[in-house]
Amino acid sequence: MHQSITKERLAALSDGIFAVVITVMVLQLRLPARASFAALLEEWPTAVSYAVSYLLIVIMWINHHFLWGFAERSRGRLVLWNFAHMFAASLVPFATAWVADTRMAPVPVFVYAAVIVIVNLSYHAFAYDVMPAVPNPRGGRSDRRTALLRSALTLTLFTLAMFLSLEFPHFAFLLVTCVLLTYARPEVPRVR
């Protein structure tokens, strides 16, 4: 069955899922209670959680497409890892809305960070399966090893943010945001 699922078709389906995730998030944005700047400012948790989640989805999409460049074809295991990654992406709107509705309370921030841990684990598995285990042409460490090291480091920091959120939810959310920025550049960092 998976033989009929081409690499291009699976990437297009993933694009559609990312688009739906962003649409669901934007539909969950709340309007301020009053028509004033003060009312708009009161909704800062909604704006911040949406902006960070939008950044997360954009980074996921960019890196997802970067990884597809390494895939030679669609295989059964790759299809499963892709769907696991899409499942993780589908949890982001729920966690985002909860963080916004509770004004960054500890447990919702914990869940938000946990969702990002799930996203990171599924990305790690997807990257491990799709990236070649060959050295890069410049003679440094392999692209795969470097990408997986970066993924392991960020996974550790996201997990730390999960537990910090129970005492310091705003700091934990800031840590998540900063760690997300390490994925803003999809190319695997080259070792010289």
pLDDT of residue 6: 80
Domain ranges in the chain are 2-183
Write out the two tokens for 27: 């539909």
58 — pLDDT class (breaks 50, 70, 90):
very high
pLDDT at 191: 40
Tokens of 56: 């997360």
Q: State the chain's mean pLDDT as an integer.
A: 85
Residue, of 123 and 183, whose pLDDT is higher? 123
Mean pLDDT of 19-28: 92
Residue 141 is predicted with a pLDDT of 53
Q: What does the alpha-carbon distance between residue 37 and residue 114 come to, in Å, rounded to a whole number?
A: 33
For residue 71, name the pLDDT band (cuts at 50, 70, 90): confident
Name 135's bridge partners. 142
Closest among 4, 122, 2, 104 to 56, alpha carbons compared: 122
Q: Show Cβ contacts of residue 189 under 8 Å, excluding neighbours closer than 6 positions.
A: 146, 150
pLDDT on residue 187 = 57
